[in-house]
Structure 1
Amino acid sequence: MNQSKRYLDIVKEIRDMIRQEKIRPGDRIPSERELAEKLQVGRSTLREALRSLELLGLIETRRGEGTFLSDHRNHKLVEVLSTFILQDNQSRKDVWETRLMHEISAIQSICQNKALAELRIWDSFKKRLEGESFQRADFVRELMVLSGNRLSLKIWFLLHQYSGSPYSHEVSEDEKDLMLPILDALENQQEEKAIHAFKSWSEWIEKRRMLNGDNS
Protein backbone atom coordinates (compact mmCIF):
# COMPACT_ATOMS: atom_id res chain seq x y z
CA MET A 1 0.00 0.00 0.00
CA ASN A 2 1.43 3.43 -0.82
CA GLN A 3 0.70 7.14 -0.47
CA SER A 4 -1.47 7.16 -3.59
CA LYS A 5 -3.84 4.53 -2.21
CA ARG A 6 -7.40 5.81 -2.48
CA TYR A 7 -8.76 7.13 0.77
CA LEU A 8 -12.00 5.13 0.42
CA ASP A 9 -9.96 1.93 0.68
CA ILE A 10 -8.37 3.28 3.85
CA VAL A 11 -11.78 4.11 5.30
CA LYS A 12 -12.81 0.48 4.72
CA GLU A 13 -9.65 -0.85 6.36
CA ILE A 14 -10.12 1.38 9.40
CA ARG A 15 -13.70 0.12 9.77
CA ASP A 16 -12.48 -3.49 9.43
CA MET A 17 -9.82 -2.87 12.07
CA ILE A 18 -12.40 -1.39 14.46
CA ARG A 19 -14.58 -4.49 14.02
CA GLN A 20 -11.71 -7.00 14.30
CA GLU A 21 -10.20 -5.38 17.40
CA LYS A 22 -13.67 -5.03 18.93
CA ILE A 23 -13.30 -1.31 19.60
CA ARG A 24 -16.47 -0.13 21.35
CA PRO A 25 -18.21 3.25 21.09
CA GLY A 26 -16.37 5.62 23.37
CA ASP A 27 -13.07 3.68 23.09
CA ARG A 28 -9.95 5.37 21.84
CA ILE A 29 -8.74 4.30 18.39
CA PRO A 30 -5.03 4.07 17.50
CA SER A 31 -3.20 7.34 16.88
CA GLU A 32 -2.59 8.75 13.41
CA ARG A 33 1.02 7.54 13.58
CA GLU A 34 -0.02 4.05 14.70
CA LEU A 35 -2.66 3.80 11.97
CA ALA A 36 -0.23 4.98 9.30
CA GLU A 37 2.24 2.27 10.32
CA LYS A 38 -0.43 -0.41 10.70
CA LEU A 39 -2.03 0.30 7.31
CA GLN A 40 1.27 1.25 5.65
CA VAL A 41 -0.12 4.42 4.15
CA GLY A 42 1.07 8.03 3.98
CA ARG A 43 0.04 10.37 6.78
CA SER A 44 -1.61 12.92 4.46
CA THR A 45 -3.78 10.26 2.79
CA LEU A 46 -4.69 8.77 6.16
CA ARG A 47 -5.61 12.23 7.42
CA GLU A 48 -8.12 12.58 4.56
CA ALA A 49 -9.75 9.30 5.51
CA LEU A 50 -9.96 10.23 9.20
CA ARG A 51 -11.38 13.61 8.30
CA SER A 52 -14.13 11.95 6.29
CA LEU A 53 -14.96 9.57 9.14
CA GLU A 54 -15.13 12.48 11.55
CA LEU A 55 -17.29 14.44 9.14
CA LEU A 56 -19.69 11.50 9.00
CA GLY A 57 -19.84 11.39 12.78
CA LEU A 58 -18.17 7.99 13.10
CA ILE A 59 -15.22 9.23 15.13
CA GLU A 60 -14.53 12.29 17.24
CA THR A 61 -11.26 13.97 18.14
CA ARG A 62 -10.78 15.33 21.65
CA ARG A 63 -7.98 17.82 22.00
CA GLY A 64 -5.17 16.42 24.12
CA GLU A 65 -6.85 13.03 24.46
CA GLY A 66 -6.93 11.42 21.03
CA THR A 67 -9.56 10.10 18.62
CA PHE A 68 -12.51 8.03 19.82
CA LEU A 69 -15.20 5.90 18.22
CA SER A 70 -18.45 7.84 18.37
CA ASP A 71 -21.33 6.52 20.44
CA HIS A 72 -23.74 5.37 17.72
CA ARG A 73 -25.52 2.05 17.60
CA ASN A 74 -24.99 1.37 13.92
CA HIS A 75 -21.69 2.21 12.25
CA LYS A 76 -22.68 1.39 8.69
CA LEU A 77 -21.88 4.57 6.78
CA VAL A 78 -25.12 4.85 4.86
CA GLU A 79 -27.29 4.53 7.95
CA VAL A 80 -25.20 7.05 9.85
CA LEU A 81 -25.40 9.47 6.95
CA SER A 82 -29.16 9.17 6.59
CA THR A 83 -29.93 9.76 10.27
CA PHE A 84 -27.03 11.68 11.74
CA ILE A 85 -24.99 13.41 9.05
CA LEU A 86 -23.70 16.82 9.92
CA GLN A 87 -26.13 17.67 12.70
CA ASP A 88 -23.25 19.43 14.44
CA ASN A 89 -23.17 22.16 11.77
CA GLN A 90 -20.00 21.26 9.88
CA SER A 91 -18.66 23.97 7.63
CA ARG A 92 -19.64 24.01 3.97
CA LYS A 93 -15.97 23.87 3.02
CA ASP A 94 -15.53 20.52 4.78
CA VAL A 95 -18.63 19.11 3.08
CA TRP A 96 -17.52 20.40 -0.31
CA GLU A 97 -14.06 18.87 0.03
CA THR A 98 -15.39 15.52 1.23
CA ARG A 99 -17.84 15.33 -1.67
CA LEU A 100 -15.00 16.17 -4.05
CA MET A 101 -12.96 13.29 -2.60
CA HIS A 102 -15.68 10.84 -3.66
CA GLU A 103 -15.87 12.39 -7.14
CA ILE A 104 -12.10 12.19 -7.62
CA SER A 105 -12.13 8.58 -6.41
CA ALA A 106 -14.78 7.82 -9.04
CA ILE A 107 -12.63 9.43 -11.74
CA GLN A 108 -9.66 7.32 -10.65
CA SER A 109 -11.74 4.14 -10.87
CA ILE A 110 -13.02 5.04 -14.32
CA CYS A 111 -9.55 5.85 -15.66
CA GLN A 112 -8.25 2.53 -14.38
CA ASN A 113 -10.98 0.51 -16.13
CA LYS A 114 -10.16 0.00 -19.81
CA ALA A 115 -13.65 -1.27 -20.64
CA LEU A 116 -15.19 2.07 -19.64
CA ALA A 117 -13.04 3.95 -22.15
CA GLU A 118 -14.79 2.10 -24.97
CA LEU A 119 -18.31 3.07 -23.93
CA ARG A 120 -20.30 5.36 -26.19
CA ILE A 121 -21.30 7.45 -23.22
CA TRP A 122 -18.43 9.90 -23.73
CA ASP A 123 -19.61 10.78 -27.24
CA SER A 124 -23.14 10.99 -25.88
CA PHE A 125 -22.03 13.46 -23.22
CA LYS A 126 -20.23 15.58 -25.79
CA LYS A 127 -23.32 15.72 -28.02
CA ARG A 128 -25.51 16.68 -25.07
CA LEU A 129 -22.97 19.30 -24.10
CA GLU A 130 -23.29 20.81 -27.57
CA GLY A 131 -27.08 20.82 -27.29
CA GLU A 132 -29.34 23.30 -25.57
CA SER A 133 -29.84 21.46 -22.25
CA PHE A 134 -27.36 19.45 -20.20
CA GLN A 135 -27.68 19.02 -16.45
CA ARG A 136 -24.54 19.11 -14.33
CA ALA A 137 -26.03 16.51 -11.97
CA ASP A 138 -26.61 14.03 -14.82
CA PHE A 139 -22.92 14.14 -15.67
CA VAL A 140 -21.48 13.81 -12.15
CA ARG A 141 -24.05 11.22 -11.08
CA GLU A 142 -23.12 9.08 -14.09
CA LEU A 143 -19.46 9.28 -13.11
CA MET A 144 -20.34 8.03 -9.65
CA VAL A 145 -22.40 5.18 -11.13
CA LEU A 146 -19.66 4.20 -13.59
CA SER A 147 -17.14 3.95 -10.75
CA GLY A 148 -19.07 0.90 -9.54
CA ASN A 149 -18.99 1.92 -5.87
CA ARG A 150 -22.63 1.97 -4.76
CA LEU A 151 -21.83 3.01 -1.21
CA SER A 152 -19.82 5.98 -2.42
CA LEU A 153 -22.73 6.91 -4.70
CA LYS A 154 -25.18 6.92 -1.79
CA ILE A 155 -22.85 9.02 0.35
CA TRP A 156 -22.31 11.38 -2.58
CA PHE A 157 -26.06 11.96 -2.97
CA LEU A 158 -26.32 13.11 0.63
CA LEU A 159 -23.18 15.24 0.56
CA HIS A 160 -24.35 16.84 -2.66
CA GLN A 161 -27.63 17.83 -1.05
CA TYR A 162 -25.97 19.13 2.09
CA SER A 163 -23.48 21.23 0.10
CA GLY A 164 -26.33 23.10 -1.56
CA SER A 165 -26.75 20.87 -4.63
CA PRO A 166 -24.09 22.65 -6.74
CA TYR A 167 -24.87 20.42 -9.73
CA SER A 168 -28.60 21.09 -9.76
CA HIS A 169 -28.38 23.59 -12.63
CA GLU A 170 -27.91 23.30 -16.36
CA VAL A 171 -24.43 23.64 -17.84
CA SER A 172 -23.91 27.24 -18.95
CA GLU A 173 -22.14 28.29 -22.13
CA ASP A 174 -19.26 29.60 -20.03
CA GLU A 175 -18.44 26.22 -18.52
CA LYS A 176 -18.68 24.00 -21.57
CA ASP A 177 -15.03 24.63 -22.38
CA LEU A 178 -14.18 23.49 -18.85
CA MET A 179 -16.09 20.22 -19.20
CA LEU A 180 -14.76 19.09 -22.59
CA PRO A 181 -11.22 18.46 -21.25
CA ILE A 182 -12.76 16.28 -18.50
CA LEU A 183 -14.58 14.14 -21.07
CA ASP A 184 -11.53 13.86 -23.34
CA ALA A 185 -9.28 12.84 -20.46
CA LEU A 186 -11.80 10.26 -19.16
CA GLU A 187 -12.22 8.73 -22.60
CA ASN A 188 -8.44 8.49 -23.02
CA GLN A 189 -7.95 7.29 -19.42
CA GLN A 190 -5.65 10.17 -18.56
CA GLU A 191 -6.18 10.15 -14.83
CA GLU A 192 -4.13 13.18 -13.80
CA LYS A 193 -5.55 15.36 -16.56
CA ALA A 194 -9.10 14.25 -15.76
CA ILE A 195 -8.68 15.06 -12.06
CA HIS A 196 -7.06 18.41 -12.78
CA ALA A 197 -9.79 19.38 -15.25
CA PHE A 198 -12.54 18.24 -12.88
CA LYS A 199 -11.08 20.23 -9.99
CA SER A 200 -10.88 23.33 -12.21
CA TRP A 201 -14.54 22.93 -13.14
CA SER A 202 -15.53 22.36 -9.51
CA GLU A 203 -13.65 25.48 -8.40
CA TRP A 204 -15.31 27.47 -11.19
CA ILE A 205 -18.75 26.37 -9.95
CA GLU A 206 -17.93 27.27 -6.35
CA LYS A 207 -16.61 30.73 -7.28
CA ARG A 208 -19.70 31.42 -9.34
CA ARG A 209 -21.94 30.27 -6.49
CA MET A 210 -20.14 32.63 -4.12
CA LEU A 211 -20.51 35.55 -6.53
CA ASN A 212 -24.20 34.82 -6.98
CA GLY A 213 -24.96 34.32 -3.31
CA ASP A 214 -25.25 30.51 -3.72
CA ASN A 215 -28.07 30.91 -6.22
CA SER A 216 -26.23 30.04 -9.42
Structure 2
Amino acid sequence: MEQKHTKKMFLQIVKQLRDLIAVQNIQEGEKLPSERVLSEQLNVGRSSVREALRSLELLGLIETRHGDGTYLASMKHHHLVEIVGSFILQDASSVADVHATREMHEKEAIKIICQSETLRKLPVWESFFAEIELEQSLQREAILRECMIVTENRLAFKIWLQLSAYSNSALVNDITKEEKSHLQIMLASMQMGYLPEAIEAYEKWIEILK
Protein backbone atom coordinates (compact mmCIF):
# COMPACT_ATOMS: atom_id res chain seq x y z
CA MET A 1 0.00 0.00 0.00
CA GLU A 2 2.76 2.45 0.91
CA GLN A 3 4.64 1.71 -2.34
CA LYS A 4 1.52 2.54 -4.29
CA HIS A 5 1.12 5.90 -2.59
CA THR A 6 4.78 6.89 -2.89
CA LYS A 7 4.27 6.94 -6.66
CA LYS A 8 1.64 9.68 -6.40
CA MET A 9 2.38 12.79 -8.37
CA PHE A 10 4.72 15.12 -6.52
CA LEU A 11 2.53 18.15 -7.17
CA GLN A 12 -0.50 16.31 -5.80
CA ILE A 13 1.31 15.70 -2.51
CA VAL A 14 2.35 19.35 -2.33
CA LYS A 15 -1.29 20.33 -2.88
CA GLN A 16 -2.37 17.95 -0.13
CA LEU A 17 0.11 19.58 2.22
CA ARG A 18 -1.18 23.04 1.36
CA ASP A 19 -4.78 21.90 1.85
CA LEU A 20 -3.86 20.36 5.21
CA ILE A 21 -2.24 23.62 6.33
CA ALA A 22 -5.43 25.47 5.40
CA VAL A 23 -7.80 22.95 7.03
CA GLN A 24 -5.80 22.84 10.25
CA ASN A 25 -5.48 26.64 10.14
CA ILE A 26 -1.73 26.56 10.66
CA GLN A 27 -0.54 30.15 10.84
CA GLU A 28 2.75 31.73 9.80
CA GLY A 29 5.41 30.86 12.34
CA GLU A 30 3.50 27.87 13.68
CA LYS A 31 4.86 24.35 13.70
CA LEU A 32 3.80 21.73 11.13
CA PRO A 33 3.08 18.12 12.10
CA SER A 34 6.04 15.73 12.01
CA GLU A 35 6.91 13.70 8.91
CA ARG A 36 5.39 10.62 10.51
CA VAL A 37 2.12 12.39 11.31
CA LEU A 38 1.94 13.98 7.85
CA SER A 39 2.58 10.60 6.26
CA GLU A 40 -0.36 9.14 8.19
CA GLN A 41 -2.69 12.10 7.58
CA LEU A 42 -1.94 12.27 3.84
CA ASN A 43 -1.76 8.48 3.48
CA VAL A 44 1.54 8.63 1.59
CA GLY A 45 5.02 7.28 2.27
CA ARG A 46 7.39 9.25 4.50
CA SER A 47 9.90 9.53 1.66
CA SER A 48 7.26 11.30 -0.45
CA VAL A 49 6.45 13.67 2.41
CA ARG A 50 10.14 14.38 2.95
CA GLU A 51 10.65 15.16 -0.73
CA ALA A 52 7.67 17.52 -0.82
CA LEU A 53 8.79 19.30 2.36
CA ARG A 54 12.28 19.68 0.95
CA SER A 55 10.89 21.42 -2.12
CA LEU A 56 8.57 23.65 -0.09
CA GLU A 57 11.54 24.67 2.03
CA LEU A 58 13.53 25.56 -1.08
CA LEU A 59 10.63 27.75 -2.17
CA GLY A 60 10.75 29.51 1.17
CA LEU A 61 7.24 28.40 2.13
CA ILE A 62 8.41 26.49 5.19
CA GLU A 63 11.56 26.53 7.29
CA THR A 64 13.25 23.70 9.14
CA ARG A 65 14.76 24.42 12.52
CA HIS A 66 17.20 21.63 13.27
CA GLY A 67 16.17 19.76 16.37
CA ASP A 68 12.91 21.70 16.62
CA GLY A 69 10.79 20.74 13.61
CA THR A 70 9.31 22.45 10.56
CA TYR A 71 7.48 25.79 10.62
CA LEU A 72 5.26 27.66 8.19
CA ALA A 73 7.05 30.69 6.76
CA SER A 74 5.52 33.97 5.63
CA MET A 75 3.34 33.49 2.55
CA LYS A 76 2.87 37.14 1.57
CA HIS A 77 5.76 37.18 -0.92
CA HIS A 78 4.91 33.94 -2.72
CA HIS A 79 1.98 34.77 -5.01
CA LEU A 80 3.51 36.55 -8.02
CA VAL A 81 4.77 33.46 -9.84
CA GLU A 82 1.45 31.62 -9.37
CA ILE A 83 -0.45 34.58 -10.84
CA VAL A 84 1.89 34.94 -13.82
CA GLY A 85 2.03 31.17 -14.32
CA SER A 86 -1.75 30.81 -14.27
CA PHE A 87 -2.09 33.57 -16.86
CA ILE A 88 0.49 32.01 -19.19
CA LEU A 89 -0.82 28.48 -18.87
CA GLN A 90 -4.33 29.53 -19.88
CA ASP A 91 -3.07 30.82 -23.23
CA ALA A 92 -3.11 27.88 -25.65
CA SER A 93 -0.99 29.81 -28.17
CA SER A 94 1.89 29.88 -25.69
CA VAL A 95 2.38 26.09 -25.60
CA ALA A 96 5.72 26.15 -27.44
CA ASP A 97 7.00 29.03 -25.31
CA VAL A 98 6.06 27.24 -22.10
CA HIS A 99 8.00 24.12 -23.07
CA ALA A 100 10.97 26.13 -24.34
CA THR A 101 11.12 28.12 -21.10
CA ARG A 102 10.98 24.97 -18.99
CA GLU A 103 13.78 23.42 -21.04
CA MET A 104 15.83 26.61 -20.66
CA HIS A 105 15.64 26.31 -16.87
CA GLU A 106 16.54 22.61 -17.02
CA LYS A 107 19.58 23.25 -19.21
CA GLU A 108 20.78 25.98 -16.88
CA ALA A 109 20.44 23.59 -13.93
CA ILE A 110 22.49 20.97 -15.79
CA LYS A 111 25.14 23.62 -16.50
CA ILE A 112 25.33 24.60 -12.82
CA ILE A 113 25.68 20.96 -11.78
CA CYS A 114 28.42 20.29 -14.34
CA GLN A 115 30.38 23.31 -13.12
CA SER A 116 30.15 22.41 -9.43
CA GLU A 117 32.32 19.60 -8.10
CA THR A 118 30.10 19.34 -5.02
CA LEU A 119 26.91 18.95 -7.03
CA ARG A 120 28.52 16.52 -9.50
CA LYS A 121 29.44 14.20 -6.63
CA LEU A 122 25.96 14.00 -5.12
CA PRO A 123 25.01 10.29 -4.77
CA VAL A 124 21.57 10.89 -6.25
CA TRP A 125 22.94 10.83 -9.83
CA GLU A 126 24.48 7.38 -9.35
CA SER A 127 21.22 6.23 -7.78
CA PHE A 128 19.21 7.44 -10.78
CA PHE A 129 21.71 5.79 -13.16
CA ALA A 130 21.32 2.45 -11.37
CA GLU A 131 17.51 2.66 -11.33
CA ILE A 132 17.51 3.30 -15.08
CA GLU A 133 19.98 0.47 -15.71
CA LEU A 134 17.82 -1.95 -13.70
CA GLU A 135 14.72 -0.61 -15.48
CA GLN A 136 13.03 0.21 -12.20
CA SER A 137 9.97 2.44 -12.08
CA LEU A 138 11.26 6.01 -12.24
CA GLN A 139 9.34 9.10 -13.32
CA ARG A 140 10.98 11.50 -15.75
CA GLU A 141 10.00 14.40 -13.55
CA ALA A 142 12.00 13.01 -10.62
CA ILE A 143 15.33 13.53 -12.37
CA LEU A 144 14.48 17.01 -13.64
CA ARG A 145 13.09 18.08 -10.28
CA GLU A 146 16.26 16.95 -8.51
CA CYS A 147 18.37 18.93 -10.99
CA MET A 148 16.34 22.03 -10.20
CA ILE A 149 16.36 21.49 -6.43
CA VAL A 150 20.11 20.99 -6.00
CA THR A 151 20.91 24.31 -7.70
CA GLU A 152 19.08 26.02 -4.80
CA ASN A 153 17.62 28.80 -6.96
CA ARG A 154 14.22 29.32 -5.35
CA LEU A 155 12.73 31.55 -8.03
CA ALA A 156 13.85 29.29 -10.89
CA PHE A 157 12.45 26.25 -9.09
CA LYS A 158 9.15 28.00 -8.42
CA ILE A 159 8.80 28.97 -12.09
CA TRP A 160 9.82 25.47 -13.17
CA LEU A 161 7.10 23.91 -11.00
CA GLN A 162 4.47 25.97 -12.77
CA LEU A 163 5.83 25.08 -16.20
CA SER A 164 6.28 21.39 -15.41
CA ALA A 165 2.70 21.25 -14.12
CA TYR A 166 1.63 22.18 -17.64
CA SER A 167 3.85 19.41 -19.02
CA ASN A 168 2.62 16.76 -16.58
CA SER A 169 1.15 14.52 -19.28
CA ALA A 170 4.67 13.56 -20.34
CA LEU A 171 6.85 14.20 -17.30
CA VAL A 172 4.92 12.15 -14.75
CA ASN A 173 5.21 9.00 -16.84
CA ASP A 174 7.93 6.45 -16.20
CA ILE A 175 11.12 6.37 -18.24
CA THR A 176 11.01 3.97 -21.19
CA LYS A 177 13.71 1.77 -22.74
CA GLU A 178 13.93 4.17 -25.68
CA GLU A 179 15.05 6.96 -23.32
CA LYS A 180 17.46 4.84 -21.29
CA SER A 181 20.74 5.46 -23.14
CA HIS A 182 20.25 9.23 -23.46
CA LEU A 183 19.46 9.63 -19.78
CA GLN A 184 22.41 7.53 -18.69
CA ILE A 185 24.75 9.54 -20.91
CA MET A 186 23.30 12.74 -19.46
CA LEU A 187 23.77 11.58 -15.88
CA ALA A 188 27.28 10.24 -16.48
CA SER A 189 28.30 13.44 -18.27
CA MET A 190 26.94 15.54 -15.41
CA GLN A 191 28.99 13.51 -12.92
CA MET A 192 32.15 14.07 -14.96
CA GLY A 193 31.43 17.72 -15.66
CA TYR A 194 31.13 17.24 -19.42
CA LEU A 195 28.63 20.01 -20.16
CA PRO A 196 28.32 19.76 -24.00
CA GLU A 197 27.76 16.00 -23.79
CA ALA A 198 25.23 16.40 -20.96
CA ILE A 199 23.24 19.03 -22.87
CA GLU A 200 23.32 17.01 -26.10
CA ALA A 201 22.01 13.92 -24.28
CA TYR A 202 19.34 16.03 -22.57
CA GLU A 203 18.19 17.47 -25.91
CA LYS A 204 18.00 14.01 -27.50
CA TRP A 205 15.98 12.77 -24.51
CA ILE A 206 13.53 15.69 -24.68
CA GLU A 207 13.14 15.20 -28.42
CA ILE A 208 11.88 11.68 -27.75
CA LEU A 209 9.23 13.06 -25.39
CA LYS A 210 7.96 15.40 -28.08
Normalising by structure 1, report the TM-score. Answer: 0.56
8 A Cα contact 1:137 1:167, kept in partner: yes
CA 117–163 in structure 1, closer or farther in 2 if over 3 Å, else same: closer
**The one of 178, 182, 185 aligned to 2:186:** 182
Point out the structure with the larger helix share.
Answer: 2
The answer to whether residue 141 in structure 2 is matched with residue 141 in structure 1 is no
Q: CA deviation at 1:116?
A: 1.1
The 1:114/1:203 distance shift into structure 2, 3 A limit, reads same
Match of 1:50 in 2: none
Q: Distance in 1 between matches of 2:124 and 2:110?
A: 15
The AA in structure 2 aligned to 1:94 is D
How far off its partner does 1:195 sit? Answer: 0.9
State the match for 1:10 in structure 2: none
Of 157, 164, 169 in structure 2, the residue corresponding to residue 160 of structure 1 is: 164
Tell me the SS of whatever aligns to 2:171: coil
Measure, in 2, the Cα distance between the counterparts of 1:145 and 1:116: 11
* Deviation string, structure 1 residues 59-86 (Cα, Å, up to 9, x no partner): xxxxxxxxxxxxxxx9x75243354333
Cα distance change of structure 1 residues 130 and 143 upon mapping to structure 2, 3 Å threshold: same
Alignment partners' CA distance in 1, 2:91 and 2:173: 28
Q: How does 1:187-202 map to 2 (within 5 A)?
A: 187-202=191-206
What is the CA-CA distance between 1:177 and the residue it aligns to?
1.0
RMSD: 2.1
Local SS of the residue matching 2:89: coil
Look up the match of 1:123: 126
Residue deviations 1:96-153 (CA, integer Å, cap 9, x gap): 1111011011111111111112221221111111232111111111011112212111
Q: 2: CA distance between counterparts of 1:199 and 1:185?
A: 13
Matches within 5 A, 1:1-216: 77-131=80-134, 132-206=136-210
Number of equivalenced pairs: 133
CA distance in 1, matches of 2:168, 2:162: 10
Q: Is 2:185–2:201's contact at 8 Å kept on the other side of the alignment?
A: yes
Structure with larger Rg: 1
| Identity percentage of aligned residues | 39
- Taking structure 2 as the reference length, the TM-score comes to 0.58
What are structure 2's unaligned runs of at least 5 residues? 1-76
Unaligned runs of 5+ in 1: 1-73, 207-216
Distance 1:128 1:136, change over 3 A: same
Q: Separation in 1 of the partners of 2:168 and 2:137?
A: 21
The answer to which of 155-164 and 193-202 deviates more is: 155-164
* Higher normalized contact order (CA 8 Å, seq sep 6+, divided by chain length): 2
Q: Which amino acid aligns with 1:126?
A: F
Distance 1:134 1:164, change over 3 A: closer
